[in-house]
Amino acid sequence: MRFFSPRILVLFAALLPLSSACSQDIADTIYSGGPILTMNDDQPTAEAVAVKDGRILAAGSLADLGGYRGNATTMFDLDGHAMLPGFVDSHGHVVFGGLQALSANLLSPPDGDVTDIASLQATLTQWADDNAEAVAKVQMIIGFGYDNAQLAELRHPTREDLDAVSEDLPLLIVHQSGHLGVANSKALELAGITAASEAPPGGVIQRDENGEPNGVLEEYAFFAVLAPLLGNLGDEGLLAFAQAGSRLWAQFGYTTGQDGRSSGGSVEALKKVGAAGDLPIDVVAYPDVLESRDYIRANVSRAYADRVRVGGCKLTIDGSPQGFTALRDRPYYDPVGDYPDSYAGYAAITAEQLQDAVNWCYENGMQILVHSNGEGASDMLIAALEAAQEKYGDPGNRPVLIHGQFQREDQVDSFQRLGVFQSVFPMHTFYWGDWHREHTVGPVNAENISPTGWIRERGLMFGTHHDAPVAFPDSMRVLAATVTRRTRSGDILGPLQRVDVVTALKAMTIWPAWQHFEEGDKGSIEAGKIADFVILSADPTAVDPETLADLQVLVTVKDDKVIYEAATGAVASHRQYSPFSSDPVVAHAFMHAIYASMHFK
């Protein structure tokens, strides 16, 4: 049985009296029949919502909204399910999410099946077999999402491990963090990486006992291989990425997505997809401020055009905490790998680069989103923001801290003083909480990763994110992790940092809408705002918090139009996406771009 009728629109001819109001007051759609959580503190719940021309006319009781019903009004029956504002992506990478959707799935459970080196090899082999036509045409294999912390061997695969899958074809796999990856011998050869190669600033080429590259490339050493992949995709490949990523976001209830650390090419691809009417959600992009200042200056806007806008700048200070490349203010607790006793990670940029970028954004009134994971990186950021504010004042640009995974409590105070909005990553407590407790920061400091409790103690707003493709843009996993902080092993990591369900929902709706300067249009269900909604299988405030991750996104509504509906009797799952199987043209373009990027580096 379907949750809703086709197109999810059900007419109830006798439910409400017909309105005699003038035509401009007649609703196109009235939503009712289930709990409605508005995220509006002045009216937290409603029985019904009336919509006209993609905007909310009113939210209130069913009786009070009867005057908005006319002969042509569609009555949308929620059938007992819960409706909320559409989710606003506090931080993610929509276009890069297309890579996740269009490559071998190397994620570990519950999002994939890779648990050790052998299953990783088997997954790559099976993917290559399933996409044999594309692989044979362009001579390349790629996978996304492996996590050494979840492999039985507790190590990165090596080039020898990947050579066992293919010695003749170049093979590249991307770590789940997106900050490192592994290449097989053929891929290293085509990329020109040898024993004599020097790592670029802010990057590491890992080596074996003989000094030969072992295949693992960190940060800018990895980006030097990966960046040409995206840069050489061409129109067809980038369009496929943008389409696949935006559809994946819609599947999890996001009506506004973010494309962090964009390139000019990826933004132009989003614009082209939007102009063709194929972008289901709004996407706000933040190009890299170290690489794209002219593009940012020419394109930044608070207004969307074809569902795309450039919101400001992105900057990255350090790397991945679970990959031991985040910059700490002290040594890592028990890092797994060949690290010296005093190893504390490293910055990907210099303090001078950081200050110059922050100053440019403040001088030009640009919003800046800064990736800072370790305490050492946040110390750098705080110093740069203090210097910029002393020089330029506060331009009202709402600077954003992205991740802030390891923070001291005094740093939370500093970010409050500096007016920094925190977009944090509580999903880490589920995916890597056990790893952080045992290896990165230790059992004491692990309690305070993603410190939402400290943030709320100070009365501050915050956003929560998935950082897809680091994790799938699974909104219910984001919600569950923020509320319960339960790890994969079942431990509760930092019970004092937990927040209630309504607070966690605000961090996915109205607060990230404020983060993006869009609180006047999005984030809550109230008169005048855009009719962006998500319909869940149950009211998240009325279920056992331990079951939040099991809730399903049934329907996503953008501008009063359904953009996603769960398959009959199916749980929304990333496994529904298999573009290579259905579109060999896209597969060929994608794979050819990867091969070309390696060949001509």
Cα 198 to Cα 200: distance, rounded to the nearest angstrom:
6
Residue-level pLDDT at 470: 82
What pLDDT was estimated at residue 176? 81
Among candidate residues 107, 139, 129, the one with its CA nearest the CA of residue 120: 107
Instruction: Report pLDDT digits (tens) over 388-433.
Output: 999 999 999 999 999 999 999 999 999 999 999 999 999 999 999 9
Buried b (16+ CB within 10 A) or exposed e, 233-267: beeebbbbbbbbbbbbbbbbbbbbbbbbbbbbbbb
Res. 546: pLDDT tops 90: yes
> CB within 8 A of 148, min separation 6: which ones?
154, 155, 156, 157, 175, 323, 336
Neighbours of 514 (CB within 10 A): 19
Angle (deg, nearest 10), helices 94-101 and 234-251 = 90
Cβ atoms of 255 and 87 within 8 Å: the answer is yes
Interval 479-509: pLDDT, tens: 999 999 999 999 999 999 999 999 999 999 9
- Residues 320-343 have pLDDT tens digits of 898 899 999 999 999 998 899 999
As a whole number of angstroms, the distance between CA 393 and CA 387 comes to 10
Segment 68-76 mean pLDDT? 96
Take residue 575 and report the two structure tokens written for it: 């496994």
Averaged pLDDT, 380-393: 98
- The residues, ordered by sequence, that sit 6+ positions from 306 with a Cβ below 8 Å of its Cβ are 271, 274, 275, 279
Region 99-117: mean pLDDT is: 85
More confident residue, 445 or 581: 445
Read off the pLDDT band of 202 (50, 70, 90): confident
Judge whether residue 129 has pLDDT over 70: yes
Cα angle, residue 23 at apex, residues 18 and 27 outer, rounded to 5°: 60
Domains and CATH numbers, the chain: 6-80 (2.30.40.10), 94-232+579-599 (3.10.310.70)
Those residues with Cβ within 8 angstroms of residue 49's Cβ, 6 or more apart along the chain or in another chain: 30, 31, 32, 36, 56, 58, 59, 65, 83, 525, 531, 533
* pLDDT-based confidence at residue 234 (cuts at 50, 70, 90): low
* DSSP string for residues in 46-82: EEEEEEETTEEEEEE-TTGGGGG--TT-EEEE-TT-E
pLDDT of residue 407: 97
Q: What number is the average pLDDT over the span 510-521?
A: 98
CB of 319 closer than 8 Å to CB of 223: no
Tell me what pLDDT residue 203 has: 84
Across 231-235, 437-441, 483-487, least confident range: 231-235
pLDDT tens string 448-462: 999 999 999 999 999
Q: How many H helices and E strands in the chain?
A: 21, 23
- The mean per-residue pLDDT over the stretch 351-358 comes to 98
The DSSP code sequence of 116-136 is: SHHHHHHHHHHHHHHTHHHHH
- φ, ψ of residue 289 to 5 degrees: the values are -70, -20
pLDDT at 589 over 80: no
Which residue reads 């004599």 in tokens? 196
Transcribe 210-267 into DSSP letters: TS-EEEEEEHHHHHHHHHHHHHTSHHHHHHHHHHHHHHHHHHTTEEEEEEEEE-HHHH
How much is the pLDDT for 594? 40
Most confident residue range from 94-108, 225-239, 519-533, 578-592: 519-533
Rg (CA), the chain: 24
Q: Is the pLDDT of residue 25 over 70?
A: yes
Q: What is the pLDDT of residue 22?
A: 47
pLDDT digits (tens, 9 = 90+) for 268-285: 999 999 999 999 999 999
φ, ψ dihedrals at 477, nearest 5°: -70, -40
Lowest pLDDT segment from 110-114, 180-184, 232-236: 232-236
Give the closest residue to 402 by CA, choosing from 369, 357, 448, 354.
369
Say if residue 233's pLDDT is above 70: no
Greater model confidence, 176 or 361? 361
| Tokens coding 522 | 């999005």
Q: According to the model, what pLDDT value does residue 220 have?
A: 78
Confidence at residue 93, expressed as pLDDT on a 0 to 100 scale: 94
Buried b (16+ CB within 10 A) or exposed e, 426-446: bbbbbbbbbbbbbbbbeeebb
DSSP three-state, residue 468: coil
Mean pLDDT to the nearest integer, 173-182: 84
Q: How far apart are CA 304 and CA 518, in angstroms?
A: 11
- Contact in structure between 543 and 115 (CB atoms under 8 Å): no
Rounded Cα gap, residues 474 and 254, in angstroms: 9
Largest CA distance in the chain: 84
CA atoms of 392 and 107, how far apart (whole Å): 45
**Does 345 score more than 50 pLDDT?**
yes
Closest CA to 399 of 417, 383, 418, 386: 418
Average pLDDT, the chain: 88
As a whole number of angstroms, the distance between CA 474 and CA 266 comes to: 23
Helices 351-363 + 375-392 axis angle, to 10: 40
Nearest-angstrom CA–CA distance, 314 and 34: 40
Q: What residues are paired with 77 via a beta bridge?
A: 32
Q: Of 44, 29, 28, which Cα lies nearest the Cα of 78? A: 29
Q: What is the pLDDT of residues 152-167, one digit of tens each?
A: 999 999 999 999 999 9
